[in-house]
Amino acid sequence: MYIYKVIKPTRKQEIIQVAATLFKEKGYSAVSMRDIAQAMHIKAASLYNHISGKQEILSTLILEVAEAFTTEMSAITAETLPTLKKIERVIEIHIDITVNYSENIATLNNDWMHLEGDDLKQVVKMREAYEENFRRIIKQGLSQGEIKPQHPEVILFSILSTLRNLYLWNEKRGKMDVNVLKKDMVAVLIKGII
Amino acid sequence: MYIYKVIKPTRKQEIIQVAATLFKEKGYSAVSMRDIAQAMHIKAASLYNHISGKQEILSTLILEVAEAFTTEMSAITAETLPTLKKIERVIEIHIDITVNYSENIATLNNDWMHLEGDDLKQVVKMREAYEENFRRIIKQGLSQGEIKPQHPEVILFSILSTLRNLYLWNEKRGKMDVNVLKKDMVAVLIKGII
DNA sequence: GTCTATAGGATGATAGAC
DNA sequence: GTCTATCATCCTATAGAC
The values of phi and psi at residue A53, to 5°, are 170, -175
Instruction: Give the count of beta carbons closer than 10 Å to the beta carbon of residue B6.
Output: 5
Contact by Cβ (8 Å): B111, B27: yes
Looking at residue B101, which CATH number applies to its domain?
Answer: 1.10.357.10
Q: Do A165 and B169 touch (CB under 8 A)?
A: no
Residues of chain B with a CB closer than 8 angstroms to some CB in chain A: 25-30, 84, 110-111, 113-114, 141, 146-148, 150-151, 153-155, 157-158, 161-162, 164-165, 168-169, 172, 176, 181, 184-185, 187-194
pLDDT band for A158, please (50, 70, 90 cuts): very high
Which residues of chain B are under the pLDDT cut of 50? none
Query: Which pLDDT score, from 0 to 100, does residue A49 have?
Result: 98
Q: What is the DSSP letter of A41?
A: T
Any domain includes A47: no
Q: Which residue type is seen at B77?
A: T
Q: Count up the domains in chain A and report the number.
A: 1
The values of phi and psi at residue B84, to 5°, are -65, -35
Average pLDDT over residues A41-62: 98
The secondary structure of B7-23 as a DSSP string is -PPPHHHHHHHHHHHHH
Mean pLDDT of chain B: 96
Q: Is the CB of A54 under 7 A from strand C?
A: no
Contact by Cβ (8 Å): B162, B189: yes
Judging contacts by C-beta atoms under 8 Å, the chain A residues touching residue B27 are: 27, 29, 110-111
pLDDT tens for each residue of A41-51:
999 999 999 99
Domain holding A97, by residue range, is: 55-191
pLDDT band for A130, please (50, 70, 90 cuts): very high
Any domain includes A179: yes
Instruction: Give the dihedral sign, CA B175/B180/B182/B184.
Output: negative
Q: Do A194 and B169 touch (CB under 8 A)?
A: no
Any domain includes A157: yes
Q: Do B27 and A26 touch (CB under 8 A)?
A: no
Residues in chain A: 194
Q: Do A150 and B26 touch (CB under 8 A)?
A: no
Q: What is the DSSP letter of B79?
A: S
Q: Do A27 and B161 touch (CB under 8 A)?
A: no
Any domain includes A176: yes
Any domain includes B140: yes
Residue A53 pLDDT greater than 80, yes or no: yes
Nearest to A23 by CA among A67, A66, A61: A61
CA–CA dist A147, A132 (Å, integer) = 18
Percent of chain A with pLDDT over 70: 100
Smallest Cβ–Cβ distance between A188 and the set B27, B111, B150 belongs to: B150
CA–CA dist B37, B19 (Å, integer) = 9
Judging contacts by C-beta atoms under 8 Å, the chain A residues touching residue B23 are: none
Q: Is the CB of B44 under 7 A from strand C?
A: yes
pLDDT band for A25, please (50, 70, 90 cuts): very high
Nearest to A84 by CA among A138, A130, A131: A138
Q: Which residue type is seen at A10?
A: T
Contact by Cβ (8 Å): B22, B38: no
pLDDT band for A4, please (50, 70, 90 cuts): confident
Query: Which pLDDT score, from 0 to 100, does residue B2 have?
Result: 84
Residue A112 pLDDT greater than 80, yes or no: yes
CA/C1' separation A165–D7 (Å): 43
Query: Which pLDDT score, from 0 to 100, does residue A173 have?
Result: 83
Contact by Cβ (8 Å): A102, A24: yes
Q: Which residue type is seen at B117?
A: G
CA/C1' separation B46–D6 (Å): 15
Percent of chain A with pLDDT over 90: 93
Q: What is the pTM of this model?
A: 0.96
Query: Which pLDDT score, from 0 to 100, does residue A191 have?
Result: 96
Query: Which pLDDT score, from 0 to 100, does residue B15 have?
Result: 98
Mean pLDDT of chain A: 96
Query: Which pLDDT score, from 0 to 100, does residue B170 have?
Result: 83
